[in-house]
Structure 1
Amino acid sequence: MKKFALSLLTLAVVTSSLYAKDVSPDIYTDTNVAQLSNNEAALLKKHEGKFTRPTYQTAVAEYRDDWNKIAEHKIPEWIIDAKFGIYTHWGVYSVPAFETNVYHRYMYDKSNPRGIYQYHLDNFGKLEDFGYTKFVDMFKAEDYNAKEMLDLMIDSGAKFGGLGTVHHDGFLMWDSEINRWNAGKMGPKRDLYGEFVTEARKRDFKVAASFHHARTWDMVHKSIDESSFTAEEKSKLDIYDQQFEDFYPGRHSKTTTIDVFAQQWHDKIVEVIDKYSPDFFFFDGIKRTNANSPENLVVDALDYYYQNAKAEGKEVVVANKLPGGGNFNFPEHIGIPTYEGGRDMPADVGGYFLVDRAISYPWTYVKDKEYNLKANYHIDALMDMVARGGIYLLSLTPMASGAIDPAEEAIFREIGQWLKVNGEAIYDTRRWAIPAEGPISTWKVAKSGKNKQVMRMVWAYNKVKDGEIRFTQKDGQLYAMSLTWPESNELLIKSLKGNSEYYQQEISKVSMLGYGEVDFTRTEAGLNIKLPKQKPNKIFDHGMSFKIN
């Protein structure tokens, strides 16, 4: 493994949609690149120039050759085939189980509008007596069973998944030698991630690892008004205690300086690669111009990951996430473009992509959590994203004990039941000539920002309408998925009309997955499918798939 000397100099990065080296586009797109349907294209054109399209960053000259080398690694077929994965937001923050997975960031903020500071006082006492570090001893994971969690992911239809290995609070979910704040040596005193990997390898289940720890640097101190604490209070708070600076690294650290933190950031990634060899790496919080995750160490970690996989004879995936700033973490053609919740994802995204979303927000489990995003929402999202070339990554939110809320488990199992019937139209498929037809309820352009001046794409699935259809294909076979069961008990697919520009073959048979053949007529208006008078079962409440022969 290469070792780059860490520098605190800010690395100049130029925003660009171009990459330093041309890479064959078929690495990132289907051979048959789908075009938007006429009504989607018209709506997109209507908003042309109103929102900033996401861009990639180009490496400075010093690291261009390194990025070019990393860019040679294609997006593997296995994740394009998989379509659906599950990971977790689970950790020390699951103990207070209130409002957010960055509880530690706000519990010291006396003016926090979300009430976290007051909630902490009411439930755990004064900060001087009960800092966030106290929650580590309370995080026991006593109900966690790696096999049962894996079984739930598989039963839900996921083809890859894993634990969130470290979130913004910096607590590691594996047994680490890099930093003492880890599940192997504190709290559960178990290698939680390692246990999952062991079970997953038995089932040939692709393993994911997510790293969110770049933001750990100075997260607490930058979020609070430090003048709100008296000198006496500061002397008793764990966030100012030097014995805890390796848990609260930042502006007050004397030993865990920014360069020490960055090297540990890198070394934790290498340690997970060496110990567990995950198939999929998800990164959050990286900004290569920042000294907490500088470009030289980012390049080194990614190169090491790919070289390790090559030595093992397998293909791996890196998520190239689009953060809130509008520029992806890495240059173009590095990994798979990843959009949190579909945020800021253009309608004509082009190549393969990944969308990660919580089962219901917040990202973590909280007491009395309201699951406002039901199974139907996620199934509609899955149909829509797959038709556009996407992979859907959904977050499981275990309780601190490792148990799953029964309401949450029911949602995941309902998704799995739908996929058992309709998976043929999802797994292993590729995009068709157009991804969709019908009303457009799944995306919109909205204003955001403090002054509501920036337009952004927003993808949601709360109010889908009859007539919304998504297409996929596999081995020359066309599938049409309806997001609803039309009230009329008839489905008209206009894109498959007689003499269709998209589908000129004769249609001899139409089958509804999970039911069988259905009657149809094909006219100049479209392919009209007559549905059964009654839904075969409740699974069809979530929409259905048709195999067109």
Structure 2
Amino acid sequence: MLQATRWKTLGASRTGYTGGNPSGVPSLKSIENNMNYINRILFSLLSVGLWMGPTRGQEIEPTWESLAANYEVPQWFVDGKIGVWFHWGISSAADENRPNDGSHYGRRMYSVVPDDYSGELGMSETLTRWHTERYGHPSEFGYEDLIPLFKAEKWDPDALVKFAKDNGARFIMPVACHHDNFDMYDSFHPWNSLNMGPKRDTLKEWKAAAAKHGLKFGVSTHLYWSPRFFANARKYQKPGTPEWTLFNMDFDPRGYASQDSWNEHWYARCWEIIEKYDPDMFNNDAPYPKLGSGKGLGVKLFTDFVNRDLKENDGKQTVVLSFKDASVDRSAFTYNLERGGAGEIKPEPWMWATDLSGGWFYRATAVNRMSIPVMVGNAVDAISKNGVVMLNVALKGDGTIPENQAAYLTAFGDFLATCGEGIYGSRPWKTFGEGPLKVKDGRQGENRQDFSQQDIRFTHKDGVLYAFVLARPTEDILIQTLADGGLLDREIANIKLLGSDEKIQWKRSHDGLQISLPKQLPDALVTGFAIELNQ
């Protein structure tokens, strides 16, 4: 097996900071020599089938059918329920008062319009005008010139991971590479956070902090979009410059998905992350090489990732593989239902990923249109339907959490401190719940409406049924699903209010289970009840 630590033997000796270049990029000659040589080696290995990832043995075949038949979501993920995603990179350090960039600063800043243009400007054109006024024309101040601004001078991964854990997280997932092609780790790709910007291997430090605090460690890569991401930047790039590599100018911005050179490069970049950082979770937040045009390198990477884990853990899967492709059998992976929701209980565990910042990457003017109470309710709704929650935090360029995002995490932590008993380690019940608010099924269009006290969700664990009222109740609570003769076919022995010692008054009839409004409700946005059942 070709180890990531052996890149130096392939001619990719690391280069340092070049004092004469304001972007601090490696020397042009070293980039050309290293990248050309690596690409030739990878092409040769892939062509003859020697770049195999894991050592072959009893393993999953690189097909969706084989992966679907063998993929098993590990217990730590289904039991842990809560993760924190960290989006952080070059654009985090751009002027925080910039206009909306849709979290794609590097793509949108190259949308130049003529000076005499008098029509309405779109988001991209507006940002380009702003960038030109703030920093200079893209031909003079390009995306690469933002890198020296990205210093991470206050970044403390230990404190950040502890804060996430204290507020309920059981795993973290930093972005390893976004669409901008900049690696946030010690990469063979010369544009990375160890060579420039923070001058730190952020993945290594994130992982060490996660291990210290007992959290699982995931990584997220968005790399596959990058040749298309910089399509508008092409007219400002010159062959033979270091920036040519950053902007992926060697690949067709429209036809890259069918280019062997790109698909092989993508595989190598992703496999280096897996080998070097050994993540518990690998999230591919972008397309991937398809079976035809991409020679199946996507499913090959995914099966190689799982096979590597199986080999190292005596045939037991301990890792999570996630991505967004709704066309693939969801038994083959963990579906990332980003900014969406589930209408019903899903047969396979899935991930509800949402953003607390309002823009994925930090921008001071971004607004999260989902209120804190709705976020907590949506999280409980997802968990009741076999989902796992992933909350994105967009760090500032200096590496700190903005106060408004910290408030979301703190409120969620308060809820879990009171009601975590019915969340961690729980499973969906016979039905997810009841109430007038209907959550849309599918990606995007996540709920932003307020819940009412009639919106109730269920989980169960160890013979206890948990009922969560998704808005603070102001009157007696009626749970129609738990009526005599309904889905609950066992007698209720006792009901407890989570986070309180108050004795709860209740009665069950053909109309439902009626719980008298407690005299004192815990200070939490969602009210939870533990319904103990007779054996």
Residue 308 of structure 1 aligns with an amino acid whose one-letter code is R
Aligned residues of 2:82 and 2:389 also touching (Cα < 8 A): yes
- Residue 545 of structure 1 aligns to a residue whose secondary structure is strand
- Residue 230 of structure 2 aligns to a residue whose secondary structure is helix
Deviates more, 1:157-166 or 1:301-310: 301-310
Q: After TM superposition, list the pairs within 5 Å mapping 1:26-41 onto structure 2.
A: none
Aligned residues of 1:518 and 1:530 also touching (Cα < 8 A): yes
Change (3 A) 1:409 1:239: farther
Q: Deviation of residue 370 (structure 1)?
A: 2.5
Deviates more, 1:140-149 or 1:238-247: 238-247
Is 1:288 matched up with 2:289? yes
Q: Which residue matches 1:401? A: 398
Kindly provide the CA deviation profile for residues 131-179 of structure 1, in whole angstroms up to 9, marking residues without a partner as x.
0000111111111111011012102211111311110001111111x20
Rounded Cα–Cα distance in structure 2 between residues aligned with 1:316 and 1:477 = 29
Q: Which residue matches 1:308? A: 308
Aligned residues of 1:444 and 1:457 also touching (Cα < 8 A): no
Report the TM-score when normalising by structure 2.
0.80
Kindly provide the CA deviation profile for residues 97-126 of structure 1, in whole angstroms up to 9, marking residues without a partner as x.
442321110101125611111110121112
Is 1:216 matched up with 2:226? yes
Change (3 A) 1:496 1:188: same
Rounded Cα–Cα distance in structure 1 between residues aligned with 2:329 and 2:512 = 43
Is 1:117 matched up with 2:120? no
Q: Which residue matches 1:318? A: 321
Would you say how many aligned residue pairs link Structure 1 and Structure 2?
A: 459
Q: Deviation of residue 364 (structure 1)?
A: 1.2
- Residue 459 of structure 1 aligns to a residue whose secondary structure is coil
Q: Deviation of residue 346 (structure 1)?
A: 5.1
Rounded Cα–Cα distance in structure 2 between residues aligned with 1:301 and 1:508 = 51
Change (3 A) 1:205 1:295: farther
Q: Percent identity?
A: 27
Rounded Cα–Cα distance in structure 1 between residues aligned with 2:157 and 2:335 = 29
- Residue 245 of structure 2 aligns to a residue whose secondary structure is coil
1:140 to 151, 154, 159: 151
Residue 245 of structure 1 aligns with an amino acid whose one-letter code is W
Change (3 A) 1:240 1:411: farther
Change (3 A) 1:116 1:303: same
- Residue 117 of structure 1 aligns to a residue whose secondary structure is helix
Residue 494 of structure 1 aligns with an amino acid whose one-letter code is Q
Change (3 A) 1:139 1:432: same
2:490 to 473, 481, 505: 505
Change (3 A) 1:415 1:240: farther
Aligned residues of 1:317 and 1:336 also touching (Cα < 8 A): yes
Deviates more, 1:107-116 or 1:146-155: 107-116
Q: Which residue matches 2:175? A: 164
Q: After TM superposition, list the pairs within 5 Å mapping 1:214-293 onto structure 2.
A: 214-221=224-231, 223=232, 234=235, 237-238=236-237, 242-250=241-249, 258-289=259-290
Q: Which residue matches 2:33? A: none
Rounded Cα–Cα distance in structure 1 between residues aligned with 2:237 and 2:410 = 42
Change (3 A) 1:360 1:146: closer
1:355 to 349, 352, 366: 352
- Relative contact order (C-alpha < 8 Å, sep 6+): which is higher? 1
Aligned residues of 1:218 and 1:251 also touching (Cα < 8 A): no
Q: Which residue matches 1:476? A: 463
- Residue 296 of structure 2 aligns to a residue whose secondary structure is helix
Q: Which residue matches 2:339? A: 341
Rounded Cα–Cα distance in structure 2 between residues aligned with 1:457 and 1:102 = 18
Q: Deviation of residue 251 (structure 1)?
A: 6.5
Residue 527 of structure 1 aligns with an amino acid whose one-letter code is L
Residue 130 of structure 2 aligns with an amino acid whose one-letter code is Y
Kindly provide the CA deviation profile for residues 468-527 of structure 1, in whole angstroms up to 9, marking residues without a partner as x.
000000111110010012222x1001111123x211222221111001331111122111
Change (3 A) 1:160 1:134: same
Q: Which residue matches 2:513? A: 527
Q: Which residue matches 2:81? A: 83
Change (3 A) 1:126 1:458: closer
- Residue 493 of structure 2 aligns to a residue whose secondary structure is coil
Alpha-carbon RMSD? 2.7
Residue 529 of structure 2 aligns with an amino acid whose one-letter code is F
Q: Which residue matches 2:212? A: 202
Change (3 A) 1:331 1:536: closer
Aligned residues of 2:288 and 2:298 also touching (Cα < 8 A): no
Report the TM-score when normalising by structure 1.
0.78
Q: After TM superposition, list the pairs within 5 Å mapping 1:361-400 onto structure 2.
A: 361-400=358-397
Q: Deviation of residue 239 (structure 1)?
A: 7.1
Q: Which residue matches 2:23? A: none
Change (3 A) 1:303 1:318: same
Is 1:434 matched up with 2:431? yes
Q: Deviation of residue 238 (structure 1)?
A: 4.1
- Residue 509 of structure 1 aligns to a residue whose secondary structure is strand
Q: Deviation of residue 211 (structure 1)?
A: 0.6
Q: Deviation of residue 253 (structure 1)?
A: 7.3
Structure 1 unmatched runs, 5+: 8-62, 227-233, 446-455
Q: Deviation of residue 312 (structure 1)?
A: 2.9
Aligned residues of 1:432 and 1:472 also touching (Cα < 8 A): yes
Q: Deviation of residue 290 (structure 1)?
A: 9.0
Q: Which residue matches 1:106? A: 108
Q: Deviation of residue 332 (structure 1)?
A: 4.1
Q: Which residue matches 1:184? A: 194
Aligned residues of 1:239 and 1:248 also touching (Cα < 8 A): no
Aligned residues of 1:497 and 1:525 also touching (Cα < 8 A): yes
